[in-house]
């Protein structure tokens, strides 16, 4: 098993289990348009029945001849079903992309979508239940929480992927779209099965060549490859394209030639991609040009693209809130990168065109192991928002460490921002309920590559699966989600389900334990910008504003209004009051909001420094159990995936020791306060290089010192 089918392997049920199911004679597709997800759904049903139940059902298109026939599966839209004489009176209202699943007494199945895409989603639901040995439910409705459920790929035109850990791009190579888009269709299939409906195909750090005539045509081919799966595409734009591609003297968003340029490009793009979902814009961020470069406001920049889109279609501008100065002066204690998004956007709420959405990373810094929810969500009412998650584990072990993310996402989605003193959980903002937004929802940076595992690690795929499930229903239960994924991906054997559930559910808290605790951020390298491996020293003395403010006496950013950077004041009063005071700030975010001595006592009774030591020992100790627990799966799953995962878990066990010892030694050296249990410096389980017999190696000094034994 290579992993290429992800959770859509459709492994055969045992003959006993298969015998519980009816013999489906035919699948009736209400529509036979080659590009329609309804036809895709019918073919997928045929394939799934064949693989899971070893049944060969035929495909037909006429409901009239078969309404009363037993053992058929009807798939289509509510509209087409009713048009063909089917009874839809009893079906509850469906939202866009929603679906209805039902089973009659004579074992016929109805899979009806609010639209084509809904029909496909219903077909996948039916098949994924079947693959777990579960029958089609009676009268079951499923509706999405939000209309926008998108992926952002950070693929470059040369085929590399920013923060991608699974080989080169499936979309691009040599500054052009790939000729063979087979993997792109397969990706769309995976996306559709978890009800993701849109994708921005290129990096937010975009390149003007994306818009060359050859690439515009190529984007048309990408859209064609994904459309049958109900997945529509959009692109990320380079703000200075008018200058760099068309040779204009400016890219000023109010300049008539610039407006005409984007108008022309948009018209051409719509010719190739008539159902374009829109543009994603990263501007005035990390060296990218933007409207501020030309003395214009962020809204003027966004509206430039919004107006062009409006003239040709329904696309939206997704404008990223990730605008900040990456040359921040650390000597000023009032400076704080976390403040940036609200400072830039708070007065803009009424100024954006109605087809502009603001895309906000879940926390105010950058995909850290723990962050409070971005306060910008409290400052938009008229302008709707999209949250940005990251499935690619940029700061979370880069797919070499297992880190199941839904427990982290829930700390954000369930957080009640108390806007205007009313219940305001983030998931209700994103659904549009709270401020009556028409279009809002979810984006995740996914970065699949051409490796057959898609993400570079089989276990990492649970995050892609779960992302779709959460965007559809943010109240999903993280254990139920991982267990569905395990049964579909590996096996329903109880040992497999228990072991993988255990490792997955422990993985994020464990990673937090041996990386950065108490809200101090991930503590990984950020200077060389690989964002991997421990480097607590790098988390100060940098212009990126990712600071811990650790010195000999204390640690943490004072972000209070009273004495700090004022960040806590960006939340509504009820929330800001919690974070403003040390006593009411939860331990897990203490150092995010406060600068305290290492000897400060947490609510747990431990001091900050002792908590650091203990958590790093506990985290690393727990990872040592992962590989032995996984070994119980030998013979219960295929050998290829068994070994692949085992190798990674063993690697992670070793690397967690590097993390543990680096962080502990660094802070011991910084504050001079010994570990109460005398462990730091003794390195349990570690094999030192100097204890090995090495040939062909040279001993060199290592920086940072704490990452090596005796600095060598």
Residues that are catalytic: 286, 366, 394
Name the residue with tokens 């000729």: 179
C-beta of 205 vs 625, nearer to ligand BDP: 205
Coil, strand or helix: which one is 693? coil
Taking the complex as a whole, the smallest distance from the CB of residue 155 to ligand BDP amounts, in Å, to 12
Q: How far is CA 233 from the centre of its chain?
A: 17
The mark string for 552-571 relative to ligand BDP (x by CB under 6 A, - otherwise) is --------------------
DSSP 699: -
Taking the complex as a whole, the smallest distance from the CB of residue 544 to ligand BDP amounts, in Å, to 9
Contact residue for ligand BDP among 1, 162, 346, 416 (CB under 6 A)? 162
Contact residue for ligand BDP among 5, 102, 155, 366 (CB under 6 A)? 366
Verify binding: residue 367, ligand BDP, rule CB under 6 A.
Answer: yes
Listed residue (406, 405, 389) closest to 397, CA to CA: 405
Taking the complex as a whole, the smallest distance from the CB of residue 163 to ligand BDP amounts, in Å, to 5
DSSP 161: B
Verify binding: residue 386, ligand BDP, rule CB under 6 A.
Answer: no
Contact residue for ligand BDP among 149, 207, 282, 595 (CB under 6 A)? 282
C-beta of 112 vs 444, nearer to ligand BDP: 444
C-beta of 181 vs 321, nearer to ligand BDP: 321
The mark string for 202-241 relative to ligand BDP (x by CB under 6 A, - otherwise) is --xx------------------------------------
Q: How many residues bind ligand BDP (CB under 6 A)?
A: 9
Residue 504 and residue 492: Cα distance in Å, rounded? 16
Taking the complex as a whole, the smallest distance from the CB of residue 191 to ligand BDP amounts, in Å, to 21
Residue 227 and residue 233: Cα distance in Å, rounded? 9
Taking the complex as a whole, the smallest distance from the CB of residue 546 to ligand BDP amounts, in Å, to 10
Q: Which two tokens stand for residue 690?
A: 């100097």
Q: What does each C-alpha distance from 426 to 147, 356, 433, 664 come to in angstroms?
A: 16, 19, 10, 35
Residue 154 and residue 446: Cα distance in Å, rounded? 8
Listed residue (155, 91, 146, 85) closest to 119, CA to CA: 91
Residues 175-204 that bind ligand BDP (CB under 6 A): 204
Tell me the DSSP string of 595-640. -EETTPBPTTS-BHHHHHHHHHHHHHHHHHHHHHHHHTTBTTB-HH
Taking the complex as a whole, the smallest distance from the CB of residue 447 to ligand BDP amounts, in Å, to 10
Bridge partners (DSSP) of residue 103 are: 109
Verify binding: residue 542, ligand BDP, rule CB under 6 A.
Answer: no
C-beta of 392 vs 504, nearer to ligand BDP: 392
Q: What does each C-alpha distance from 274 to 37, 190, 268, 270, 470 come to in angstroms?
A: 16, 23, 10, 5, 29
Verify binding: residue 322, ligand BDP, rule CB under 6 A.
Answer: yes
Residue 473 and residue 431: Cα distance in Å, rounded? 10
C-beta of 443 vs 461, nearer to ligand BDP: 443
Query: What element of type H or E holds 82?
Result: helix 78-83
Q: Is 650 exposed, middle or buried (0-12, 13-18, 19+ CB in 10 A)?
A: middle
The mark string for 70-109 relative to ligand BDP (x by CB under 6 A, - otherwise) is ----------------------------------------
The mark string for 648-677 relative to ligand BDP (x by CB under 6 A, - otherwise) is ------------------------------
C-beta of 163 vs 679, nearer to ligand BDP: 163
Name the residue with tokens 């074992």: 107
C-beta of 223 vs 360, nearer to ligand BDP: 360
C-beta of 3 vs 533, nearer to ligand BDP: 533
Contact residue for ligand BDP among 163, 310, 381, 686 (CB under 6 A)? 163
Residue 292 and residue 298: Cα distance in Å, rounded? 7
C-beta of 319 vs 367, nearer to ligand BDP: 367
Taking the complex as a whole, the smallest distance from the CB of residue 134 to ligand BDP amounts, in Å, to 39
Q: What does each C-alpha distance from 675 to 25, 605, 711 come to in angstroms?
A: 69, 15, 20
The mark string for 391-420 relative to ligand BDP (x by CB under 6 A, - otherwise) is ---x--------------------------
C-beta of 150 vs 322, nearer to ligand BDP: 322
Taking the complex as a whole, the smallest distance from the CB of residue 455 to ligand BDP amounts, in Å, to 17
Taking the complex as a whole, the smallest distance from the CB of residue 305 to ligand BDP amounts, in Å, to 17
Residue 710 and residue 591: Cα distance in Å, rounded? 29
Tell me the DSSP string of 217-228. HHHHHHHHHHGG
C-beta of 154 vs 352, nearer to ligand BDP: 154
C-beta of 322 vs 567, nearer to ligand BDP: 322
Contact 478, 463 (CB under 8 A): no
Listed residue (601, 606, 598) closest to 669, CA to CA: 598
- Residue 338 CB contacts under 8 Å (≥ 6 apart), including other chains: 364, 365, 545, 557, 559, 565, 567
Contact 353, 306 (CB under 8 A): yes
Residue nearest to ligand BDP (CB): 366
Q: How many helices (H) and strands (E) would you count in the chain? A: 19, 18
Taking the complex as a whole, the smallest distance from the CB of residue 361 to ligand BDP amounts, in Å, to 7
Verify binding: residue 337, ligand BDP, rule CB under 6 A.
Answer: no
Contact 199, 467 (CB under 8 A): no
Taking the complex as a whole, the smallest distance from the CB of residue 367 to ligand BDP amounts, in Å, to 6
Bridge partners (DSSP) of residue 176 are: 173
Taking the complex as a whole, the smallest distance from the CB of residue 536 to ligand BDP amounts, in Å, to 18
Verify binding: residue 50, ligand BDP, rule CB under 6 A.
Answer: no
Residues 432-491 that bind ligand BDP (CB under 6 A): none
C-beta of 322 vs 617, nearer to ligand BDP: 322
Tell me the DSSP string of 543-582. TT-------SSEES----TTTS-SGGGGS-HHHHHHHHST
Q: Is 308 exposed, middle or buried (0-12, 13-18, 19+ CB in 10 A)?
A: buried
Verify binding: residue 525, ligand BDP, rule CB under 6 A.
Answer: no
Taking the complex as a whole, the smallest distance from the CB of residue 13 to ligand BDP amounts, in Å, to 43
Residues that bind ligand BDP (CB under 6 A): 162-163, 204-205, 282, 322, 366-367, 394
């Amino acid at each position: 098993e290579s992993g290429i089918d992800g959770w859509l392997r459709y492994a055969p049920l045992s003959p006993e289990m298969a015998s519980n199911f009816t013999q489906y004679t035919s699948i009736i597709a209400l529509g036979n348009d080659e590009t329609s997800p309804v036809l895709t759904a019918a073919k997928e049903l045929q394939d799934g029945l064949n693989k899971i139940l070893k049944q060969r059902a035929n495909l037909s298109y006429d409901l009239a001849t078969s309404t009363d026939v037993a053992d058929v599966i009807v798939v289509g839209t509510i509209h087409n079903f009713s048009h063909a004489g089917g009874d839809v009176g009893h079906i509850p209202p469906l939202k866009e992309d929603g679906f209805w699943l039902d089973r009659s007494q004579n074992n016929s199945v109805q899979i009806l979508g609010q639209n084509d895409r809904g029909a496909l989603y219903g077909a996948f639901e039916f098949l994924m239940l079947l693959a777990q040995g579960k029958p089609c439910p009676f009268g079951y409705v499923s509706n999405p929480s939000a209309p926008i459920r998108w992926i952002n790929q950070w693929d470059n035109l040369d085929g590399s992927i920013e923060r991608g850990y699974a080989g080169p791009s499936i979309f691009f190579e040599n500054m052009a779209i790939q000729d063979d888009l087979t993997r792109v269709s397969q990706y769309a299939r995976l996306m559709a099965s978890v009800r993701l409906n849109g994708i921005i195909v290129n990096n937010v750090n975009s390149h003007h060549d994306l818009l060359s005539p050859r690439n515009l045509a190529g984007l048309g081919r990408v859209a064609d490859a994904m459309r049958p799966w109900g997945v529509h595409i959009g692109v990320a734009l380079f703000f200075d394209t008018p200058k760099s591609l068309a040779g204009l003297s400016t890219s000023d968003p109010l300049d008539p030639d610039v407006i005409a340029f984007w108008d022309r490009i948009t018209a051409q793009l719509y010719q190739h991609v008539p159902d374009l979902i829109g543009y994603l814009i990263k501007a005035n961020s990390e060296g990218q040009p933007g409207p501020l470069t030309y003395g214009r406001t962020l809204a003027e920049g966004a509206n430039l693209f919004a107006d062009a889109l409006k003239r040709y279609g329904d696309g939206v501008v997704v404008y990223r809130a990730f605008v900040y100065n990456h040359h921040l002066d650390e000597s000023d204690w009032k400076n704080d990168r976390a403040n940036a998004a609200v400072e830039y956007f708070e007065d803009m709420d009424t100024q954006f065109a109605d087809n502009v959405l603001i895309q906000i990373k879940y926390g105010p810094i950058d995909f850290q192991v723990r962050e409070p929810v971005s306060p910008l969500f409290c400052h938009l009412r008229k302008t709707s928002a999209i949250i940005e998650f990251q499935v690619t584990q940029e700061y979370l072990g880069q797919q070499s460490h297992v880190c199941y993310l839904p427990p982290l996402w829930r700390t954000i989605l369930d957080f009640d921002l108390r806007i205007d003193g009313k219940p305001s959980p983030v998931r209700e903002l994103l659904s549009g309920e709270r401020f009556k937004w028409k279009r809002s929802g979810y984006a995740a940076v996914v970065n699949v590559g051409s490796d057959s595992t898609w993400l570079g690690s089989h276990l990492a795929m649970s995050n892609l699966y779960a992302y779709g499930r959460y965007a559809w229903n943010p109240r999903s239960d993280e254990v139920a989600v991982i267990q569905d994924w395990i049964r579909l991906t590996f096996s329903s054997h109880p040992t497999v389900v228990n072991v993988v559930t255990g490792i997955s559910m422990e993985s994020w808290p464990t990673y937090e334990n041996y990386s950065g605790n108490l809200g101090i951020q991930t503590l990984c390298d950020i200077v060389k910008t690989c964002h991997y491996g421990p480097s607590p020293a790098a988390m100060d003395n940098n212009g990126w504003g990712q600071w811990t403010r650790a010195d000999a006496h204390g640690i943490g950013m004072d972000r209070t209004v009273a004495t700090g950077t004022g960040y806590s004041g960006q939340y509504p009063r009820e929330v800001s009051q919690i974070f403003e005071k040390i006593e009411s700030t939860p331990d897990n975010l203490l150092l995010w909001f406060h600068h305290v001595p290492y000897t400060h006592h947490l609510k747990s009774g431990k001091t900050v420094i002792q908590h650091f030591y203990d958590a790093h020992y506990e985290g690393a100790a727990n990872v040592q159990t992962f590989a032995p627990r996984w070994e119980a799966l030998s013979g219960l799953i295929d050998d290829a995936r068994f070994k692949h995962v085992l190798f990674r878990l063993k690697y992670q066990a070793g690397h967690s020791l590097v993390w543990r010892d680096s962080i502990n030694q660094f802070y011991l050296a910084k504050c001079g306060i010994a570990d109460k249990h005398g462990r730091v410096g003794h390195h349990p389980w570690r094999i030192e290089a100097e204890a090995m017999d090495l040939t062909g190696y040279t001993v060199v000094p290592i920086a940072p010192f704490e990452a090596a034994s005796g600095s060598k």
